[in-house]
Amino acid sequence: MSAEDQLREIEAFLFLEARLADESRYDEWEALVTDDMHYWVPAGPAVGQPSDSLSYVNDNRARLATRMRQLRTGKRHAQTPVSPMRRLITNIEVLDSTATGTTSDGDEYRVGSNFVLYELAAQATHQLRIWPGRTTHTLRRVDGELRMAAKVIELVTATEPQPNMTFLL
């Protein structure tokens, strides 16, 4: 697979992952993650280890599964009704790769991108919230398909007081 084809595949994965999260399609979104997935939203720059940092979200695979189950119940009152949202993803770049250039399992990519997420806080103020930031994904090929092994979200506003983030994927 050429570098251009790899980039297209990575972009398609990121766009799909964002759409599934925006549409609260939790089962499909969760199917995109690896068994060792780590999801981190630090309360500042993503420097050092998550265990040594103040975080808004610091989920291993088990904790992420619990959060997904809670959201699926429809009884997560902080998200009842679910916030309508859409995100834009841009400036996608492969930062690092252990890819062999084939479709071999085990290929891994560290991918950076910028985003702006628009959320309508439907359950509270009906305010339009804007969440800008940068995401770093670690994508790994499993059974021939890309999957998320890690996702780090650095919010532009991370050092400021934050409203409810229960939706954030």
Percent of the residues in the chain that have a pLDDT greater than 70, as a whole number: 90
Contact 105, 143 (CB under 8 A): yes
Listing DSSP states for 58-118 in one string gives EE-HHHHHHHHHHHHTT--GGGSSPPPEEEEEEEEEEEEE---SS--TT-EEEEEEEEEEE
- Measured CA to CA, the distance from residue 8 to residue 2 in angstroms comes to 10
Domain boundaries, the chain: 3-155
**Level-2 CATH architecture, domain 3-155:** Roll (3.10)
For residues 107-128, give the mean pLDDT. 91
Q: Is pLDDT above 60 for 77?
A: no
Residue 148 banded pLDDT, cuts 50, 70, 90: very high
How many Cα atoms are found within 13 Å in the side-chain-facing hemisphere of 98? Answer: 9
Over residues 158-166, mean pLDDT? 82
The residue whose two tokens read 């997935």 is 37
Q: Which residues pair with 159 in a beta bridge?
A: none
Q: Record the pTM.
A: 0.89
How large a percentage of the chain has pLDDT more than 90? 66
Query: What pLDDT digit, counting tens, does each position of 88-98 carry?
Result: 999 999 999 88
| Whole-number Å distance between alpha carbons of 32 and 30 | 5
In this prediction, residue 163 has a pLDDT band, given cuts at 50, 70 and 90, of confident
